[in-house]
Amino acid sequence: MQGNKMLEEAVKQVANRVRGALWGMYMGDALAMPVHWYYDRNRLRRDFGQITKYEKSVPEFPGSIMNLSNTGGGGRGSDQGSIIGDVILHGKKKYWTRGGSYHYHHGMEAGDNTLDTILARLLVKTMADNKELITQEQRPTKLVDAYLELYVKFMTTPDSHKDVYAATAHRMFFANWIKKLPLRECADNDGHNTDSIDGMINVIPFTLVRVLAKPDADRNLWITDIINALRNSDELPQWGRLYDEVLGRVLLGEKLRPAIEKVAAMISPQLPRMLQKSVGTAADADPMTACYIHSSFPAMLVFAYKYADNPKAALLASANAGGENVNRSAILGALMGAAHGPDFDLSLKQGLVHAKEYETEIEQFVSTFSRGGPAAKTAQARSEL
């Protein structure tokens, strides 16, 4: 009897960490949204002072390269293509044309989430609505196929979201989609912008499901398929497995810093020591990185390690560091939320524009994969890469 109670409590704790991971993902992204891709911290301070709460984006952003980006595909290029405006981001091409200086998230409200986090939300909902495709299938194929159908419908439906920016991976996907390629052949890679930290965010829902309900999942297979559904990358799945490892360890109750050190050592033998040295350093020492995964993922670990005991401070520091901070902050937020639970800052939780919808969806997700699943066995397990 006592053993059953202990097991019940362990399962509840895992479920609560899962809640925390999802809330943290939304909070981290929304905090960083208004200062996304600020590479000049002086400019950031002029516009906002310091980010201490959710803010709306500024109307104009002279540092934006959106007006140099390819509206018909990936990377930089011409604004003559109409993937942006006609196929996705309907009516928003005016923010991309030459001579403009619009913010990447022009018009978004304080507490809004950006497109990649919204697409992770779509994956969370897809998983909750298709439990049997996860628990009864050894391979991720059917689940990913279902997600791809919903992704295309969402992206090609006018006014399905507020964001005005879509990363290279999405633009390249739809450049192939309009050629009527099969959905499984639309993901692409420009050799420069695609192997980026935005490819990590859809790993979050997988790791949560793995810990709650599918501890025997072939992680290599599932992570590769989930990442490469939207981008064609040989490199990102390796980083996805590292993220799954650290997030999974924390969800199962391991302390944050030891979990980070284990994964950091897999990246570089010197990285754990560098992380230890970051503790107590000034905010000016916090890393500013672009989107590229080799630098942005270790930077995320720095924020998680340095501010391990203070999740709000971690998310604010990541936002105020600038650079590619929205996706970094989303996966950082999931890690901090897993470590500290869903209620580490109620004002941030309640200040999200879609907080009520998130509450309903998160509870549906947790109950779907906790009820009758092997979460009890999982709660006693430990993650091994």
Give the pLDDT band of residue 164 (cuts 50, 70, 90): very high
How many domains is the chain partitioned into structurally? 1
Give the count of beta carbons closer than 10 Å to the beta carbon of residue 157.
11
123 class by beta-carbon count within 10 Å (0-12 exposed, 13-18 middle, 19+ buried):
buried
Q: What is the mean pLDDT of the chain?
A: 92
Q: Report which DSSP code applies to 196.
A: B
Give the pLDDT band of residue 382 (cuts 50, 70, 90): very low
- Domain annotation covers residue 385: no
pLDDT of 384 > 70? The answer is no
pLDDT of residue 383: 47
- Domain annotation covers residue 174: yes
- Domain annotation covers residue 216: yes
Compute the distance between CA of residue 208 and CA of residue 222 in angstroms, rounded to an integer: 13
Across 240-264, average pLDDT: 98
pLDDT of residue 185: 97
Give the pLDDT band of residue 358 (cuts 50, 70, 90): very high
Give the pLDDT band of residue 139 (cuts 50, 70, 90): confident
- Domain annotation covers residue 92: yes
3-class secondary-structure state, position 69: strand
Q: CATH number of the domain at 184, please.
A: 1.10.4080.10
Full residue range of the structural domain in which residue 337 is found: 2-380
Give the pLDDT band of residue 71 (cuts 50, 70, 90): confident
Compute the distance between CA of residue 114 and CA of residue 33 in angstroms, rounded to an integer: 7
pLDDT of residue 377: 54
pLDDT of residue 376: 46
pLDDT of 4 > 70? The answer is no
Burial 305-327 (b: 16+ CB within 10 A, else e): bbbbeebbebbbbbbbbbbbbbb
* Percent of the chain surpassing pLDDT 90: 79
100 class by beta-carbon count within 10 Å (0-12 exposed, 13-18 middle, 19+ buried):
middle
- Domain annotation covers residue 267: yes
Give the pLDDT band of residue 61 (cuts 50, 70, 90): confident
Angle at 330 between CA 164 and CA 282, to 5 degrees: 110
pLDDT in tens, 8-60: 788 899 999 999 999 999 999 999 999 999 999 999 999 999 999 999 999 88
- Domain annotation covers residue 40: yes
Beta bridge partners of 102: 60
The model's pTM: 0.95
Cβ-contact 197, 327 below 8 angstroms: yes
- Domain annotation covers residue 116: yes
Give the pLDDT band of residue 369 (cuts 50, 70, 90): very high
